[in-house]
Structures are given as C-alpha cells and as structure tokens.
Structure 1
Amino acid sequence: MSLKDRITEDMKAAMRAKEADRLLTIRGLMAAMKQKEVDERITLDDAAIVGIVDKLIKQRKDSISQFSAAGRTDLVDKESAELKVLEGYLPARLSAEEIGAQVAALVAELGASGPGDMGKVMGAAKAKFAGNADMGLVSAAVKQALAR
C-alpha cells in the first residue's frame, strides 16, 4: 500500500470515528499533496509525500515555538496534536549517532574539508537522508564533521 493510499484510508477512518481534529490534519495534508500535484503536473510518489510531510512538520514546530513564546497554550496543544498525526506518516528516523557516522563517511567520500564545502556536502546529504532524518540534525553533523 502506498503512502498516499494509507493517508486516504486514515482519512476515511477518521471520518467514521468522528475524530474531527485528526480529520482536519489529514485533510490539510491531502490538500498540500493535491496542490503540489496540480502546480507541478505530476503524480506524487512516497518520497515526495514524505517531503511534504516534513515541510508541514517543520511548520508545526515553528508554530509551537511561536505560540509558546506568546503564552498561547491552547494553540500549542492544537499544533502538538497535529504534529503527532503528521509524524505517523514518516518512516523511522535515524538516530543522531547513525547520522553522524553516515555524514562522516559522506564527507570522506566527497573529499570535503572546511566550512567552504558545506553546500556541497549538504546537497549530497539532502539526497541521501531525504525523509529518513531530521535535516537540522544532519546540518549540525555536517558542520561538526567539517570543523575537524
């Protein structure tokens, strides 16, 4: 079953169970997927859907930090619930240690050295870790590897 089919089935299940908050989040995800398909005239594969989910998760995390700073606990709770639903569509994430080891190997493979090669390494890392790792952790690991 593709990720798109799973999301559709989850939407139907949320409708049947009358889970309004979960349904709203899934519909938002489906709208973002449909928008991407229409804008680029493509059919999304699982990797592209994971990219969209990553983007939506990043938006939720940013919103949570902003609402926390403003003292809006009601909105923090809402965004946190949406974040949990969206995280359910991501594949298993790599740990920080696994990311560090793979980034070190990638830096050695590319022959990169120094902060000037950050863009080259991040380009390769983005392709390698797409959907499997938090890109913030990957960026930190690349900075650390290039600082040596």
Structure 2
Amino acid sequence: MIREQLKSAQVEAMKGGDKERLAAVRLILAKLKDRDIELRTASNVPDDDTVVVEVLQKMAKQRRESIEMFQNGCRDELAAKEQAELDVIDSFLPARLSEEETKAAIEAIKAEVGASSVKDMGRVMAALKERHGSVIDMSKAGGLVKAALI
C-alpha cells in the first residue's frame, strides 16, 4: 500500500514539476529496490508494508543524523536539503505514537509478560518491537522501558 503511494507520488511530482520531491521519492524507491534484492535470498520475508516502513525509518534516521552534523559544521544549505528529504520521507511513514501512548503500550506489555526488573527488558523490548515497531521510535523506547522497569 505504501509502495503504491510512493509510485503515485512519483507520477504527481513529475507532472507537477516538483524536482526536489521527485528526487526524494526516486531515492526512496531506489532504496526499496535494493532491499527487495536483499530479500530475494532470505527465507523469512516480512510483508511489503513492514519492509517499506523499515527502509523509510532507516532513511529518516540517516537524514536526522546528517542534519545534526551539517548544522554543527555550519553547512545550513546542506542541512536544508536533508530536511527537505526528511519531510518527504516522513510524509510516507505511519503516524508515530506519542510519548504517553508509548508508555501505555510499554505498561501493557510489561503486565502481559510479567516483567518486574531490568532483567526482563529484552523480553519487553522484543514484544514492543513486534507489536508496535512501525509506530514507535525504538531508540527512545529503550529509555522508557528501562524507566518503567526500575
């Protein structure tokens, strides 16, 4: 479904003459093609939207890191270019859970698996990623899980 949205966005950008958006969408589609080639030899292939979301999240993370580095290096024009790409990538990602919703999900999983100490953090994180991996920022979730288990 997301892949079809990307393809239609590519056509719209071509017709509308939006070169920056077109370049960003083409970049996303190229990364997806690379990922599809990697998955040809995999025995356990996840569904298409899961693959697309993983690729988009990885690309978004790379853009955020680049923006920070460019801003620290006083390269605002390059940071602006990366920000424009990040905006296009974010437009295709599913809406993220808020911090309160993330904490509620963590508490539900914590109660379900019977987690009581930091030793159970791995089980909680695995269940959290399995159920909500596409809508939770897992880098921030680690700190929230740890805080919930202390």
Q: Provide the TM-score with structure 1 as the length reference.
A: 0.92
Residue of structure 2 equivalent to 1:38: 37
Equivalent position to 1:145, from 140, 145, 148: 148
Match of 2:58 in 1: 55
2:119 alignment partner in structure 1: 116
The share of aligned pairs that are identical, in percent, is 37
Partner Cα separation in structure 2 for residue 56 and residue 44 of structure 1:
19
1:70 maps to amino acid: G
- C-alpha deviation, 1:69, in angstroms: 1.1
Alignment of 1:17 onto 2:16: yes
Q: Report if aligned partners of 1:33, 1:52 keep a CA contact under 8 Å in 2.
A: yes
Partner of 1:7: 6
**Unaligned stretches of 5+ residues in structure 2:** none
Q: CA deviation at 1:43?
A: 8.6
Distance in 2 (alpha carbons) for counterparts of 1:106 and 1:73: 42
- In structure 2, distance between residues paired with 1:43 and 1:135: 19
* Letter aligned with residue 39 of structure 1: E
Q: Distance in 2 between matches of 1:58 and 1:90?
A: 12
TM-score, normalized by length of structure 2? Answer: 0.90
Amino acid at match of 2:142: S
Instruction: Report deviation, 1:119.
Output: 1.9
* SS of equivalent residue, structure 1 residue 88: helix
Stretch of structure 1 that moved more, 114-123 or 76-85:
114-123
**Matched residue SS, 1:22:** helix
| Counterpart contact for 1:96–1:137, Cα < 8 Å | no
Residue 98 of structure 1 deviates from its aligned partner by: 0.6
* 5+ long unaligned stretches in structure 1: none
8 Å contact 1:37–1:43 — kept in the other structure? no
CA distance in 1 between partners of 2:47 and 2:84 (Å):
25
Q: Give the total of aligned pairs.
A: 146
**Pairs within 5 Å for 1:127-142:** 127-142=130-145
C-alpha displacement at 1:11, in angstroms? 0.5
Please give the alpha-carbon distance, in whole angstroms, between the structure 1 residues aligned to 2:97 and 2:46: 27
**CA–CA distance in 2 between the matches of 1:33 and 1:46?**
11
- Residues in 1 aligned to 2:100 and 2:121: alpha-carbon distance in whole angstroms: 20
C-alpha deviation, 1:121, in angstroms: 1.4
- Per the alignment, residue 95 of structure 1 pairs with 98
